Chains A and B, each alone.
Chain A
């Protein structure tokens, strides 16, 4: 096992890159949307990984004594992972859902108007 969280960070990065590759190379609009989903997922994984500390637990206070005992609360800071990235990712996921939904809606309408899913057919406006 690796010393820290390289595995997750690296995986996140690679997923992002795969997502970008999909977006840039695939011609099908739906696949491009999937590419963006991959980018979102990779990003989320990477952000969570940023707050990951090997061997620690979820940031939930599971011992009532802590409330009374400030010292043990402080100990807790060494026992749990960073909760902030998790909170951020929660937000990011929802946003990702929203964007994906909109993209899909666009794809539906683009298909309806252009009768194709080839991204190259939607470049009439240029220059």
Chain B
């Protein structure tokens, strides 16, 4: 093994010699620089491998003297990992900067190398004063190198940075000197050992000075003003270098020195300052219009989070790996984003429209980093955050968890706001990496790759290897993302094969697991849905190359949810599903905007679910099955948070505003899946997670029943409100979108009943909705594909051109409306019986009203598209492509089967419901007649009656009277006038205007107004708050002085 001292010695020597090497040519100097960094990487990497295999940390002495006489350094696993990161970032930045720096900056090369060296020194040293020296190396290196970039901004930012850095290093140095005086040593370990015995009056003040020095280097609130300017004003590649080297090293210094700070007061101070930074910076970031300034706030916030966690790690409450994962995640993502920001060059967020649309790899990298920054799986930050929260939960730090979650939500707001712009196609020629050479973007691609690889590795530990369906599909999707050359239909075929393969595997192995538990139930739905979508994809080519890859990842993530037995596995799948569906939604024409809203609410839902899970974790519950053991207030809190989270995700009334846009604007091929399958996953959550808590407590805790009643009303309000809104839509996808949300509201309501019959109704309804709504969206996709329009005013009379699609829609709306004899009626019947059985009378009547209202939009849908006058422009429209019709047929068959025999579904549900409640939901009076406490229904007889009547009457029609002659389209009874053009005869716009007038008081956009209000308040706070950063160097220095005073006022200066 190479002596670790060379990690510092070699780059120093090279730095000194570099001016001479440069005489051989700049290329040689660059090569030597890179070689040196490679050497660092190699040495540290080799040690890291050793450490991971259990080697002990090495202690390195200098000057021939053991500590505390001499200065010593240490290389352990953490140090080695950080050095690796520093070297990697150094390499990435060197390659990047080679394309961005102006001519002839040998000095720049030297400074880059010394920055890396300084960081390595900071990481390894165990001497306090030596820390100061390396702090200054890093500091001066930073002051020098920031001059890359637009000069005036860089100078301004740099000067402020020096000013605050000067104050900070003074505080630090004074602290070190006085600590020497107090303890008689400069060695950190020795000092840690001696300080408790040597405490004198004023020691607190000394420690405070030292800490303020570090905190201001760490850019914690309120000392981060200059640092944020730095991000804004300086060449981003340089900032990437600083993030990967200095920032990490400084945090590690903080970590090392924090050992000097014992006692609850300091722990509270670290946690408070860290959390304040996390919250404040995340809030202020949402008002930023400039990309790099936003990233600066984000960096501060992330460091704040890490600092916040330090006292908990020290007390053993939080695992060290949490911090490690978060730090690694931050380095990857932030450095990567900065490099990308530099390559792109857009300073304002607005300028990012269509970013990197010419480079798939860079787009993937950008998305990866944004997802990683916001703590989504499978990236390392997700696992880190989870571990941290679990640690906090298990030691009763509920309020801190709440703060972390709130801060995280703001992260979603600004990061996805940015990604939204990047995903929005540019009107003009997009800026981007046109011809950017590989070496420039090497760092971003490397870090994206590492983030993915590291994340995937952890994910596979949680979910299992490549043979598990979830991982298999995810991996297949990931591979498919990169295949650009294939036609989209072929990709659909590949997807079809993958899904079929998994389905085959699952059902062939079904004997091993009881298929008809709740998981199996949803699994069938998911796989069937995915299969149908793939079939449809053979007919309609996806518009974006990444569609099928993302789709497979999405399916994989849902299967991951279903297969997981641990809370962690469930939540990982949940968040994977969130972002993969978000990216799919964003592929639509106006998708990015709608997707953004979707993402925000999905993120909020995710955080609520996470909160609920943390409540469970606080009671020591880590698996879904163990949720049963919760009781009392904990159970209620977990129940509430989870239920609200799931309710947000199904777009319950109040949180529904994301849904119409997301459903309407997502690609036509994806909407059926989004509406049919994804909206059911929260229902699975309710069934599998919430019910585990609630079902046992039904008997015991009255409180949970009343909570269930609230949930029931939420579902009912959703069903009513969304139906009402659907009635007035002028856009066919929007109409179905509102309808979907409303329909899921029924399911939530039935779920909330918490009775066997209620659950039977809910699950039956869920499947039925999946079938008919999937069918409707598929058929509409065909119409849009053929006609290219989406508004009702632009269609009409298409029954003549697309009769099969018409039949599909007809079957769909009959099933939706619940009109006998199709399968929908059984759902309505079960629902009302269950509601009456429970005694929720008003909800029963309310739902009857809502159901009838659904007729309005059902008729609107089919009439405005298919009936009435065929427009001239549509005379040559063809029937939908056959694969799409086949996909529709795949949905129609089960609908018809269920119409004749609902038992096909209800019998398995009986088992399932019995498994949960101990009793089945319905009884069978005969093979065909279902009964409940309230009523009875025989679907087969019903169908027979209808069929017989139909045939008899058809016979009459065919035989009695004259043979009807078919007349031309405009040949109508028209008051003896010549009818005008078809367009003018079509009554399609504002179809229910009188109805709208009648309901005007209910239709005020109160919910939207409410959310606008929320946004206004948050933005107002952020806007006011960010004026704290006045931009004046003196103010920033003053803040550092005031910061000391404030902390002293809290009694830390003792």
CA distance A23 to B174 in the complex (A): 18
Please tell me which one of the listed residues A25, A85, A124, A126 contacts residue B1029 in the complex, with CB atoms under 8 A apart.
Answer: A126
Cβ of B305 under 8 Å from chain A: no
When the two chains form their complex, are residues A123 and B177 in contact, meaning their CB atoms are under 8 A apart?
no
Report A50 CB to chain B, min CB distance, Å. 5
A119 lies within 8 A of B173 (CB): no
Closest chain A CB from B158 CB (angstroms): 6
A46-B177, A102-B140, A125-B153 are contacts. A95–B133 as well, Cβ < 8 Å?
yes
* CB-based contact A113/B151 at 8 Å: yes
- State how many angstroms separate the Cβ of B296 from the closest Cβ of chain A: 10
Give A24 to B143 CA distance when docked, in angstroms.
20
B107-136 residues at the A interface, CB under 8 angstroms: 129, 133, 136
Contact yes or no, A110 B1027, CB < 8 A: no
| Among A23, A92, A98, A124, contact of B167 (Cβ-Cβ < 8 Å) | A23
> In the bound complex, how far is the Cα of B159 from the Cα of A124, in angstroms?
13
Closest to A48 in B: B177
Task: Report yes or no: B1034 in contact with A98, Cβ–Cβ below 8 A.
Answer: no
Cβ of A127 and Cβ of B1029 under 8 Å apart? Answer: yes
Complex CA–CA separation, A50 to B1034 (angstroms): 30
Q: Which of B166, B167, B1026, B1034 is the one whose CB lies under 8 Å from A127? A: B1026
Chain B contacts with A in 162-181, Cβ cutoff 8 A: 162-163, 166-167, 169-170, 173-174, 176-178, 180-181
Question: What is the chain B residue whose CB lies nearest that of A39?
Answer: B170
Q: Does A106 contact B (CB under 8 A)?
A: yes
Quick one: given A24-B1037, A125-B157, are A98 and B136 in contact (CB under 8 Å)? yes
**Residues A18-38 near B (CB distance < 8 A):** 20, 23-25, 29, 32, 36
Cβ of A57 under 8 Å from chain B: no
**A123-B232 contact in complex given A92-B173, A98-B140, C-beta closer than 8 Å:** no
Please tell me if the beta carbons of A50 and B152 are within 8 angstroms of each other in the complex.
Answer: no
- Compute how far the CA of A80 lies from the CA of B1037 in the bound complex, rounded to whole angstroms: 39
Asked if B76 is an interface residue, CB under 8 A from chain A, the answer is no
* Distance between B821 CB and nearest chain A CB, rounded to angstroms: 65
CA distance in complex: A124, B155 (Å): 11
Cβ A43 vs Cβ B170 within 8 A: yes
Shortest Cβ distance from B153 into A: residue: A125
Residues in chain A near residue B129, CB distance under 8 A? 88, 91
CA distance A16 to B171 in the complex (A): 11
B158 touches A50 (CB 8 A): no
Question: Is A120 engaged at the interface, CB distance under 8 Å to the other chain?
Answer: yes
Question: What are the residues of chain B within 8 A of A39 when measuring CB–CB?
Answer: 166-167, 170
Question: Using Cβ atoms and an 8 Å threshold, which residues of chain A touch B1032?
Answer: 119-120, 123, 126
Across-interface contacts of B186 in A (CB, < 8 A): 84
Measured CB to CB, the closest approach of chain A to B1036, in angstroms, equals: 10
Residue contact A125 to B159, C-beta cutoff 8 Å: no
A126 → chain B closest CB, angstroms: 3
Q: Is the CB of B181 within 8 A of A125?
A: no
Contact of A102 (CB < 8 Å), options: B162, B174, B232, B1031: B162
Complex interface: chain B residues within 8 A of A47 (CB): 173, 177
Tell me whether A110 and B159 are in contact (CB under 8 A). Answer: yes
Compute how far the CA of A114 lies from the CA of B155 in the bound complex, rounded to whole angstroms: 10
Q: Which of A40, A85, A123 contacts B1033 (CB 8 A)?
A: A123
CA distance A23 to B170 in the complex (A): 13
Residues of B within 8 A of A107 (CB): 159
Known interface pairs A46-B177, A85-B180; A36-B152 also in contact (CB < 8 Å): no
Tell me whether B233 and A125 are in contact (CB under 8 A): yes
Q: Are A106 and B1029 within 8 A (Cβ)?
A: no
> Quick check: B173 and A124 within 8 Å, CB to CB?
no
Distance in angstroms from A84 CB to nearest chain B CB is 7
- Given that A99-B162, A123-B1031 are known contacts, is A24 also in contact with B1041, CB under 8 Å in the complex? yes
Please tell me if the beta carbons of B1027 and A43 are within 8 angstroms of each other in the complex: no
A interface footprint on B1006-1036 (CB within 8 Å = 1, 0 otherwise): 0000000000000000000011011111100
By a CB distance below 8 angstroms, the chain B residues around A16 are: 170, 174
- Chain B residues within 8 Å of A20, by CB: 167, 1037, 1041
Shortest Cβ gap from A98 to chain B (Å): 6
Please give the number of chain B residues whose Cβ is less than 8 angstroms from any Cβ of chain A in the complex: 47
Main secondary structure of the interface of A (DSSP, over half): helix
- Interface 0/1 of A98-125, CB less than 8 Å to B: 1100110011011001100001101111
Residue contact A127 to B136, C-beta cutoff 8 Å: no
Closest B residue to A111 by CB, please name it.
B155
* Residues in chain A near residue B170, CB distance under 8 A: 16, 39-40, 43
With most chain A CB atoms within 10 A of its CB, the pick from B156, B174, B177, B178 is: B177
Contact with A along B632-669 (1 / 0, CB 8 A): 00000000000000000000000000000000000000
CB-CB nearest in chain B for A42: B170
Q: Are B177's CB and A126's CB within 8 A?
A: no
A23 surroundings in chain B (CB, below 8 A): 163, 166-167, 1034, 1037
Q: List, in ascending order, chain B residues with CB within 8 A of A127's CB.
A: 287, 1026-1027, 1029, 1031
Is B879 on the interface with A (CB-CB < 8 A)? no
CB-contacts of A64-116 with B (<8 A): 84-85, 88, 91-92, 95, 98-99, 102-103, 106-107, 109-110, 113-114
Chain B residue nearest in CB terms to A16: B170
Given contacts A36-B166, A88-B177, contact A106 B1031 (CB under 8 A): no
Give CA–CA (A84, B1033) in the complex, Å: 34
The answer to whether B229 has its CB under 8 Å from any CB of chain A is yes
- With beta carbons under 8 angstroms apart, the residue of B155, B157, B162, B173 that contacts A109 is B155
Q: Knowing A32-B163, A98-B136, A99-B140, say if A119 contacts B1034 (CB, 8 Å).
A: yes
CA–CA, A114 to B1026, complex, Å?
Answer: 25
- A46-B174, A95-B133, A99-B136 given as contacts; is B155 within 8 A of A24 (CB)? no
| Complexed CA–CA distance, A39 and B1038 (Å) | 14
In the complex, whether B903 has a CB less than 8 A from a CB of chain A is no
Q: How far is the CA of A56 from the CA of B152 in the complex (A)?
A: 52
* CB closest chain-B residue, reference A106: B159
Which of these, A85, A99, A106, contacts B158 with CB under 8 Å?
A106
B180 touches A50 (CB 8 A): yes
Return chain A residues, CB-CB under 8 Å to B157: 125
Q: Is the CB of A126 within 8 A of B1031?
A: yes
Q: A95 touching B151 by the CB < 8 A rule?
A: no
Residues of A within 8 A of B623 (CB): none
B929 within 8 Å of A (CB atoms): no
Taken together as a complex, chains A and B put the C-alpha atoms of A126 and B1027 apart, in Å, by 8
Complex Cα distance A92/B133, Å?
8
Chain A contacts for B160, CB-based, 8 A:
122
Other 20 A-B pairs with CB < 8 A, given A32-B1034, A88-B177, A126-B1030: A16-B170, A20-B167, A25-B1034, A29-B159, A40-B170, A43-B170, A47-B177, A84-B180, A88-B180, A91-B133, A95-B136, A99-B136, A99-B139, A103-B162, A106-B158, A122-B155, A123-B1030, A123-B1031, A125-B229, A127-B1029
| A-B complex: 10 closest residue pairs judged by Cβ atoms | A126-B1031, A123-B1031, A127-B1026, A125-B229, A47-B177, A123-B1032, A122-B156, A95-B136, A113-B152, A36-B166
Mind listing 16 A-B residue pairs with CB under 8 Å? A39-B170, A47-B173, A50-B180, A88-B129, A88-B176, A88-B177, A91-B133, A95-B140, A102-B144, A102-B162, A109-B147, A122-B160, A124-B156, A125-B157, A125-B229, A126-B1029
Chain B residues at the A interface, C-beta cutoff of 8 Å: 129, 133, 136, 139-140, 143-144, 147, 151-153, 155-160, 162-163, 166-167, 169-170, 173-174, 176-178, 180-181, 186, 229, 232-233, 287, 293, 1026-1027, 1029-1034, 1037-1038, 1041
